[in-house]
Amino acid sequence: MQSREQIRNIAIIAHVDHGKTTLVDKLLQQSGIFRDHETLQERAMDSNDLERERGITILAKNTAITYKDYLINIVDTPGHADFGGEVERIMKMVDGVLLIVDAYEGCMPQTKFVLRKALEQNLTPTVVVNKIDRPAARPTEVIDEVLDLFIELGASDEQLEFPVVYASALNGTSSLDPEKQDETMQAMYETIIEHIPSPKEKIDEPLQFLVTLMDYNEYLGRIAVGRVNRGVIRQGQSVTVINREGQKKTARIEKLFGFQGLKRIEIEEAGAGDIIAIAGIKDINIGETIADPQNPEALPVLKIDEPTLQMTFLVNNSPFAGREGKWVTSRRLRDRLFKELETDVSLRVDETDSPDAYIVSGRGELHLGILIENMRREGYELQVSKPEVIVREIDGKRMEPIEHLLIDLPEESMGAVMESLGSRKAEMVNMINNGSGQVRLEFLIPARGLIGYGTYFLTLTKGYGIMNHSFDSYGPVAAGQVGGRHEGVLVSSESGSSTLYGILSVEDRGTLFLEPGAEIYEGMIVGEHTRDNDIVVNICKEKQLTNVRSATKDDTVKMKTPRSFSLEQALEYLNEDEYCEITPKSIRMRKKILNKSERERAEKQRKSAMQS
């Protein structure tokens, strides 16, 4: 067993795209644990398909490297606030953090979010100014920004004495001097060993181990990952598992694994301060304690921030139900959602009066969008409603989530963006114009106002704007309409296949979402109206052929390019009376009530109910 003095447990935290995963790649490559013939895939820690496609980290992952005689356990965490449940748990596993900040962008909303979590746990910080090779890098100002952020978050005097490493993760270089770079990551390794404390837990006390992450393996079943908080754990040992409610059961440790690079290696025993994986305990869950049977003491239950957004997940009941998916029944949908709860502690699933509908609550649109995308790839068919913020009652007042919004955009787009945010009840708190033609704006805005704003924002800034936001606090519910779609939609009156003639006949009414030949059904949304009301159209109609030849003959007609939607864009686009139908092959938007006359009747009843 490694000496406790030679162990370092660190988490890497940063805003999205500031280079966490790339930095871990270079630390792994230069540590010498890979043989010459072994190649390390780029962004090796992002093993999930969705992570590789989107270039973001969704799930926290751990690795370990050996430098000189030291074992450095590294945990790579997500940067998005939507995956805050992962970040919070990781802080329980480590003694220090590497806070990575972009040398040009400086502190961003998620930098603040992840750093707050680290300081709350009283962890020792080290600051890494990454992308130092960027032409517009401004390391001195960025360090000042970081210091201001530490003070704002109430850091202790010891935490304010943080060391700074300047690095270019992409080039694999680092140094303690912003003016020049050494060709290796040695400055980073040395700083970690010198400044991050070794574990302080006692090895000679009764065993305690907190399950922080979950993994699954076909052969071993459920694998619990976490840190030994005290004592020693051995293969074959009998232990007591204490769940979140305090109930106890006896279990046996079948296998123990340590980490080396990207591999798990089987070990015989581990002691206080080690980060390990345990196999062989059925039904184990995140937040449970594995303890000594003679002295079973539970560790404090993990505190997780509450969800702020909810959606209804339903069984697909459209006319095309069951055509493209493998799993379509209510029982399958329920099992899959409850299975997700085992590994995602920030998710909530509530059953409703209907056996075909479930209310799923999460930390944001991205959080729920990733779950839907994963289910879709696994072969599930489902429908979801428009995302809604969760309003809470605090001290007798109705309160809604408020987001801290940070926008970088060209100066010429500023007026249009400020006007659009004003109508969404946003309040400006800061504006920085450094004279380069780029402006940074900071707002506090109700989370409702951000639903559906992303696509509109890109249009306003011609694609040059960058928008980031994270949860700030709960505030009084803003009066009136906040956000939402202002345009009506074109709704199909027929079922069949769309035709070029049918599409061209309604093109002047709005923007179409479909190509000719697409299969559609009555009540499906086929386009966006130019005005604020919905209209019913027939894009299946065919041109009547006659035997009279036209003197002018048809001129060659050109159809406008239809507008396509990603999953997140479709979820943002929905209104209260609409569903998004999701299958492994298609994303369709539809009205909840498909028949036109039934929709009109329901709308009349709704209006009369409101008047009475």
Distance CA 74, CA 62 (A): 6
Q: 4-195 is classed in which CATH architecture?
A: 3-Layer(aba) Sandwich (3.40)
pLDDT digits (tens, 9 = 90+) for 491-505: 999 999 999 989 999
Amino acid at 234: R
Residue burial 321-336, b: 16+ Cβ < 10 Å; e: rest: beebbebbeeebbbeb
Query: Could you tell me the two tokens for 165?
Result: 């490493």
pLDDT computed for residue 146 by the predictor = 92
Contact 121, 160 (CB under 8 A): no
Is pLDDT of 207 > 70?
Answer: yes
**For residues 341 and 74, what is the distance between their CA atoms, to the nearest angstrom?**
25
CA gap 268, 507 in Å, rounded = 70
Mean pLDDT over each residue of the chain, to the nearest integer: 84
Q: What is the pLDDT of residues 330-350, one digit of tens each?
A: 999 999 999 888 777 778 999
Q: How confident is the model at residue 534 (pLDDT cuts 50, 70, 90)?
A: very high
In angstroms, how far apart are the furthest CA atoms of the chain? 99
**pLDDT value of residue 539:** 92
For residue 18, what pLDDT is reported? 66
Q: In sequence order, which residues have a C-beta less than 8 Å from that of residue 374 and are 6 or more positions away?
A: 50
DSSP assignment of 431-467 equals EEE-SSSEEEEEEEEEHHHHTTHHHHHHHHTTT--EE
**pLDDT band of 136, cuts 50, 70, 90:** confident
Query: Binding site annotation covers 177?
Result: no
| Separation of alpha carbons 445 and 518, rounded Å | 39
User: Considering only CA atoms, which of 220, 189, 224 is closest in space to residue 209?
Assistant: 224
Query: Has 22 been labeled as part of a binding site?
Result: yes
User: Does position 382 have pLDDT exceeding 90, yes or no?
Assistant: yes
User: What is the CATH number that goes with domain 208-291?
Assistant: 2.40.30.10
> Residue 61: is its pLDDT beyond 80?
no
Mean pLDDT over residues 127-137, rounded?
89
Binding site annotation covers 140?
A: no
CATH of domain 392-476: 3.30.70.240
- Reported as type and span, the H/E element at residue 496 is strand 496-497
| pLDDT at site 38 | 43
* pLDDT: which is higher, 259 or 538: 538
Q: What pLDDT is stored for residue 45 in this prediction?
A: 42
The pLDDT-based confidence of 34 (bands split at 50, 70, 90) is: very low
CATH architecture for segment(s) 478-545+557-564: Beta Barrel (2.40)
Q: What's the rounded mean pLDDT across residues 366-384?
A: 91
> Would you say residue 47 has pLDDT above 50?
no
CB 510 within 8 A of CB 527: yes
Q: Which of 555, 576, 562, 588 is nearest to 506 (CA)?
A: 562
pLDDT at 589 over 90: yes
Work out the percent of the chain whose per-residue pLDDT is above 90: 39
- What pLDDT score was predicted for residue 465? 84
- Asked whether residue 126 is marked as a ligand-binding residue, the answer is no
Quickly state the pLDDT bin for 197 (edges 50, 70, 90).
Answer: very high
pLDDT band at 549 (very low <50, low <70, confident <90, very high): low
Give start and end residues of each alpha helix (H) in 510-595: 567-573
Query: Quick check: 555 pLDDT over 70?
Result: no
Q: What amino acid occupies position 360?
A: V
Q: Does the global pTM surpass 0.85?
A: no
- pLDDT of 495 reads 94
What whole-number distance in Å separates Cα of residue 562 and Cα of residue 514? 6
Q: What is the arithmetic mean of pLDDT over 215-235?
A: 85
For residue 2, name the pLDDT band (cuts at 50, 70, 90).
low
pLDDT of residue 60 exceeding 70: no
- The single-letter code of the amino acid at 133 is D
Q: Which two tokens stand for residue 127?
A: 């600051």
- Position 349 scores a pLDDT of 95
Distance CA 216, CA 45 (A): 17
Is 248 one of the annotated binding-site residues? no
Quote the distance between the C-alpha of residue 393 and its chain's center.
Answer: 26
Query: Does 602 score more than 50 pLDDT?
Result: yes
210: exposed, middle or buried (C-beta count within 10 Å: 0-12, 13-18, 19+)?
buried
Task: Say whether 131 counts as a known binding-site residue.
Answer: yes
Those residues with Cβ within 8 angstroms of residue 345's Cβ, 6 or more apart along the chain or in another chain = 85, 89, 286, 287, 302, 304
309-389 with 392-476: one CATH topology?
yes
pLDDT level of residue 238 (50, 70, 90 thresholds):
very high
Give the separation between CA 16 and CA 38, rounded to whole angstroms: 29
Residue 557 pLDDT grade (very low, low, confident, very high; cuts 50, 70, 90): low
Closest C-alpha among 532, 443, 448 to residue 482: 448
Which tokens belong to 247?
């109930």
Cα radius of gyration (the chain):
27
DSSP H stretches of helix in 171-328: 186-195
Mean pLDDT of 42-68: 54
21 is in an annotated binding site: yes
The values of phi and psi at residue 215, to 5°, are -135, 170
DSSP, res 422: H
590 CB-near residues (< 8 Å, 6+ apart): 318, 521, 523, 524, 525, 578, 579, 580, 581
At 267-320, the pLDDT tens digits run 999 998 999 989 888 888 888 899 999 989 988 877 666 788 999 999 999 999
Higher-confidence residue of 195 and 466: namely 195
Pick the CATH number of 309-389 from 3.30.1050.10, 3.30.70.870, 4.10.220.20, 2.40.30.10: 3.30.70.870
Q: What is the distance between the alpha carbons of residues 599 and 538, in angstroms, rounded to a whole number?
A: 17
Cα–Cα distance, 206 to 379 (Å, whole number): 46
Residue pLDDT, tens place only, 466-481: 887 777 889 998 877 7
- Band (125; pLDDT cuts 50, 70, 90): very high
Residue 490 confidence (pLDDT) above 90: yes
Average pLDDT over residues 417-421: 92
- Indicate the burial class of 193 (C-beta count within 10 angstroms; 0-12, 13-18, 19 or more): middle
Q: Distance between CA 375 and CA 250 in Å, rounded?
A: 34
Residue 51 has pLDDT above 60, yes or no: no
Cα separations (Å) of 104 from 101, 107, 232, 407, 506? 9, 9, 45, 15, 48
**448 CB burial (10 A radius; 0-12, 13-18, 19+):** buried
What residue spans define the domains of the chain?
A: 4-195, 208-291, 309-389, 392-476, 478-545+557-564
17 assigned to a ligand binding site? yes
The alpha helices in 121-259, defined as continuous H runs, are 139-152, 157-160, 186-195
